Amino acid sequence: MNPYRTKYCGELRKENIGEEVKLAGWVQRIRDLGGMQFIDLRDETGIVQVVFDKTCNKIEDLTQESTVTVTGTVIERTNKNLKIPTGEIEVNITEITLLGKCKNVLPFEINTENPNVKEELRLEYRYLDLRNDRQHKNILLRSEIIKAVRNKMSDMGFTEIQTPILANSSPEGARDFLVPSRLNPGEFYALPQAPQQFKQLLMVSGFNRYYQIAPCFRDEDPRADRSPGEFYQLDFEMSFATQEDVFETIEELMPELFSKFTNWKVDQAPFARIPFEEAMEKYGIDKPDLRNPLIIQDVTELFVKTEFNSFKGKTVKAIVTPKTNAKTRKFFDELTVFATEELGAKGLAYIKVDENKNITGGISKFIDDTTKQSLFEQLQIQPEDAVFFLADEKEKVQKMAGGLRIELGKRLDLIEKDAYRFCFIVDFPMYELSDEGTIDFNHNPFSMPQGGMEALQNKNPLEIKAYQYDLVCNGYEIASGAVRNHDPELMVKAFEIAGYSEETVKEKFGALYHAFMYGTPPHAGAAPGIDRIIMLIANEENLREITPFPKNKRARDLLMGAPSKITEEQLKEAHIELRKEE
């Protein structure tokens, strides 16, 4: 018999009245009403009120958040609290034992949502922060979601296989975390940015369907939707598979997963499929939030002969917003400030449409009747709408219009509530121009180019599409994947275009290069981000809220004090000499 408890706090109900029970947990609240003393006792399952029997021993200086075990009888509660599951009963205790005393002064109030508590303090005392009901439930939810993912992947015929953590360094878009080798002086492992090469090698090895909940490590700057240093993804790969096979797998997994843990509306298969170029034209971003009904439209041709200098020789984008004519001048002025200060626009033009389809305000004086008629026809403008315009170079104005679309959706409260809207972004460019003007991979370097070797040999690299795809939900990229390049000649040619010699390919990706010469099946896969999926299901806006022990914005672990300096002896063992800062 467990010496601390026979029941959990949250499972007691009216049916337990008359039972003698033993409970253990944390003292959440102490109320001394003179003749009677009450404690709200909490464990992971819930809270129950306990009241001291006259014969019960008292503990002097009992403090909040101390751990205790109590023995007593379940009785009906006089002043019922129907807001909690145990609110119809209480436990009349005859014995209480202090197990672990808590300091009198807590660094912050644990069981309240206090926005004034600094995040740095919460992270420093994360073990206390995780006692908060919301935080605690998020971590329990995380466990349940991962368990559901594993069950579903198994049901779909995938085999869970773990790949190495100590791996080799490879260029995958971010900086590596390096680990010195004591046994091989001067050489380093790299923590894997993803199990990319290993999972492809598993396909070469004859495994049909692989998956794992894979830890990934990237030395990137943190964001609200990107954890610094490490994150987890559902990594999966399929042999003899096409892009459609991957989509069907995702479309079977995601609706079931999201529906299991939420009562929101969830898109069912098939998900919308949007080519990359169309996404940039209509949404100004490759991860569009489809809950936002606003669409970006190109009106460059309508302003070719304009007298409005800001539009001359520029690509012009327009966004129509419904029923916005009545908004105040302040509304439009604040949006202009947002466009210039946050989006980097040179300005924000607009017109308002009254109930008679007359246009006023903004740049209305620069729009003649012919242009006005064309605008109304192309944009399907309705009475009381407003139209916003941005002008600049094509790629710049696409991104600025994308940012404006998102902001307009928020400020006008147009975002669909309580819904998860999925789409696949497909047909990504294989290559892009780097900041230095050289050809570089746009996405995953191991992807199959559309058109195969003929495209690589004869097309402009910037026009080549790849069998690459992202899964997007509510404006977040939650999965990325591709049909893999499994031909060694194709692989060498693809990397050659991006500036890598065959010798470099052999050196950096030797295992794949040689393995592909031994009968490689066509294969494809994807890697949904576990952390972002949990964040969306938990309806949180920051990954730190669903991560047990997150790092702060500077990638520091305030609880454990990492990163930290190491001893000279450790440096010697690893054959490392620190370079002094210049």
Domains observed in the chain: 9-100 (2.40.50.140), 292-415 (3.30.1360.30)
Express each pLDDT in 378-392 by its tens digit: 999 999 999 999 999
Is pLDDT at 173 greater than 70 in this prediction? no
Is pLDDT at 307 greater than 70 in this prediction? yes
Residue with tokens 């912050």: 108
Roughly what angle, to the nearest 10 degrees, separates helices 133-155 and 243-261? 140
Cis amide linkage into residue 195, ω under 30° from 0: no
Among the residue ranges 12-26, 28-42, 195-209, the one predicted with the least confidence is: 28-42
DSSP state of 578: P
Confidence of residue 35 (pLDDT cuts 50, 70, 90): confident
DSSP letter string, 133-168? HHHHHHHHHHHHHHHHHHHHHHHTT-EE----SSB-
Segment 41-65 shows an average pLDDT of 92
pLDDT of residue 172: 60
pLDDT of residue 520: 96
> What is the distance between the terminal CA atoms of the chain, rounded to a whole angstrom?
64
Burial class, 273, CB count within 10 angstroms (exposed 0-12 / middle 13-18 / buried 19+): middle
Question: Higher model confidence: residue 221 or residue 440?
Answer: 440
Among the residue ranges 223-232, 276-285, 410-419, 524-533, the one predicted with the least confidence is: 223-232
Q: How far apart are CA 62 and CA 384, in angstroms?
A: 65
What three-state secondary structure class fits 245?
Answer: helix
Segment 303-311 shows an average pLDDT of 86
Q: How far apart are CA 382 and CA 247, in angstroms?
A: 38
Give the angle 450-453-458 at the CA atoms, nearest 5°.
90
Strands 349-353 and 468-473 come out as unpaired
Express each pLDDT in 235-244 by its tens digit: 999 999 999 9
Closest CA to 291 of 108, 202, 106, 421: 421
pLDDT of residue 171: 61
Name beta bridge partners: 318: 297, 389
